[in-house]
Structure 1
Amino acid sequence: MEKWRGKVAVVTGANSAIGTAIAETLGNIGMEVVGLAKRLDRFAELKTKFKRKKDKFHPIITDFANEEDIISAFEWVERHLGGIHILVNNTATSSKISPIEASTTDAWRQIYDINVIALQICSREGIKSMRKHHIDDGYIININSRAAYMTTPIPGMTSYYASKKAVNTIGEGLRAELGHNSKIRVTTISPALVRELQELEGIVVSPKVAGLESVDIAKTVELLLQLPSHVLA
């Protein structure tokens, strides 16, 4: 893990349960972590944890439905920190879910803008940074969902499930594209139920369902970073 010490990691959705856990884990291995999120929630807690450990955390408020906002965040990283070594695409939304007949076009746009388009913009900007700074061993990690593999969506969540299937396709497409002319790796993690995330979104979770914890996803990211650079996961 020593190879990542002092390198730059960008984590989107860094104020969510999973994003916060990933940001903290990357900080623990000595990376400079840039956290992008739309709200300040939990940023204060993260900044305190990083400061206490003398790690470096840079929060940037970012509206993922706004391309200019996303590009501005990546420009800040370029100006202040240089090249990006790790990009974790974690931001997503499942809000405004409802049956198709009762939904609105704006609600669909919000889901696709944040879950799909923002991920592609972040990936594009991250790759541009890696290319510019000749970072051959860069890593893009997409945090997806088990929903990407379910053939029949839960009623009312069709758009959300469709967006998660798109994330899988984008991840596989990126692997193929980058595999031709670089050593930049791409991995998509698709966890099942994460209890903290469901609780934050107000979704009732049965006590009989064990579920995953956010730290489980963060540990998976840490495991990926321990793999030799020629190993794809």
Structure 2
Amino acid sequence: MKIALVTGASRGIGRATALLLAQRGYQVAVNYHQRAQAADEVVRLIEQAGGSAFSVQANIADEAQVMAMFRRIDQQPGELSALVNNAGILFQQATIEQLTAERINRLFSTNVTGSFICCREAIRRMAWHHGGKGGAIVNVSSAAARLGAPGEYIDYAASKGAMDTLTKGLSLEVAAQGVRVNGVRPGFIYTEMHADGGEADRVNRVAPAIPMQRGGQAAEIASAVVWLLSDEASYITGSIIDAAGGR
């Protein structure tokens, strides 16, 4: 059975992606950092629907924990063929004058460094020159990478800009090794993440400025992610889909 690892899969876009991947026949490794109960609930829903999944704890900002997570995946009977780098954090809305090096470094260690390390470990298992059978990676970025998130999250936006560059560079590096690398840039999506930034109702506030006049749902982003992982996207690599309602 093909295994798909989804980081940050206990809620939001990661949760929706894990559920959809299970429907498509993957065994899903549901990664979480602190929300064990929520991750176990995702596994339960997948198994209830006849799918296969297991939860695996790891703070992706910690290289040792990431490597332990991949070793756990290695113990499964299937083989890793898909990685979704979805785990990401943001902090309270702030201007540049309120940012500290500690905050910036904490954010980048998860959103950027953690994704790099997950990609490294996935390539070591998927690439043909390692004896792998190929695979696909999707990096979940953000429309903030294009828009900059001024006055709110320019550190978060910059971290997602780094994710876009990772997507492009890595796609070229491993294109001849049977691994495709693409990205999805969600816009304003109804997830719990906005509460982390101090404005739980943020999507409703900005909805009138979105050309489609509404925020998006996590399942809509999951559909784009899962399509890019599928054989239907077999000749696509280095591409980023904007899923932001036209913004």
Q: In the alignment, which residue of structure 2 is the partner of 1:196?
A: 191
Given candidates 109, 116, 131, the residue that maps to 1:113 is: 109
Going from structure 1 to structure 2, the CA distance change for 1:99 and 1:199 (only over 3 Å counts) comes to: closer
Aligned residues: CA RMSD: 1.9
Moved more, 200-209 or 39-48: 200-209
Pick one of 206, 210, 218 that aligns with 1:214. Answer: 218
Q: Secondary structure at the match of 1:65?
A: coil
Change (3 A) 1:228 1:171: closer
* Equivalent residue, structure 2, for 1:34: 29
Partner of 1:53: 49
Code of the aligned partner of 1:214: A
Task: Please point out which of 123, 133, 136 is paired with 1:135.
Answer: 133
* Secondary structure at 1:91 match in 2: coil
Distance 2:108 2:231 in 1: 32
Instruction: Specify which of 66, 83, 95 is matched with residue 99 of structure 1.
Output: 95
Q: Deviations over 1:146-178 (max 9, x none)?
A: 01112x432142211111111111110011111
Instruction: Please list, as runs of the form range in 1=range in 2, the aligned pairs for 1:1-233 lying within 5 A after superposition.
Output: 6-39=1-34, 40-131=36-127, 132-136=130-134, 138-150=135-147, 152-179=148-175, 181-201=176-196, 202-205=199-202, 206=204, 209=207, 210-224=214-228, 225-232=230-237, 233=239
Question: Is the Cα–Cα contact under 8 Å of residues 227 and 233 in structure 2 kept in the other structure?
Answer: no
User: C-alpha offsets along residues 44-64 of structure 1, whole Å, 9 cap, x if unaligned?
Assistant: 321221221221111111112
CA distance in 1, matches of 2:17, 2:206: 26
Matches of 1:146 and 1:106, distance apart in 2 = 24
Q: Deviations over 1:104-138 (max 9, x none)?
A: 222111110001000000000000011334212x0
**Deviation per CA, 1:57-91, whole angstroms, max 9, x where unpaired?**
11111112211011110111112245310000000
The Cα shift of 1:198 comes to: 4.5
- State the one-letter code of the partner of 2:18: A
- Find the aligned partners of 1:214 and 1:194 in 2 and give their Cα distance: 6
Q: Tell me which moved more, 83-92 or 45-54.
A: 45-54
Equivalent residue, structure 2, for 1:3: none
Considering fraction of residues, name the structure with more strand: 2
Q: Could you tell me how far apart the structure 1 residues matched to 2:236 and 2:185 are?
A: 19
Deviation at 1:213, TM superposition (A): 0.1
Q: Residues 207, 135 of structure 1: CA spacing in aligned structure 2 closer, same or farther, 3 A cutoff?
A: same
Identity of aligned residues (%): 25
How far apart in 2 are the matches of 1:125 and 1:163? 20
State TM-score, norm by structure 1.
0.89
Distance in 2, Cα, partners of 1:228 & 1:105: 39
8 Å contact kept, 1:83–1:133 = no
- Classify 1:208/1:90 alpha carbon distance in 2 versus 1 (closer, same or farther; 3 Å): closer
The alpha-carbon distance between structure 1 residues 182 and 43, as it changes in their structure 2 partners (threshold 3 A), is same
Amino acid of the structure 1 residue aligned with 2:234? S
Please give the alpha-carbon distance, in whole angstroms, between the structure 2 residues aligned to 1:87 and 1:208. 31
Unaligned segments of structure 1, at least 5 residues = 1-5
Runs of 4 or more off by more than 6 Å in structure 1?
A: none
Give the Cα separation in 1 of the matches to 2:68 and 2:159.
24
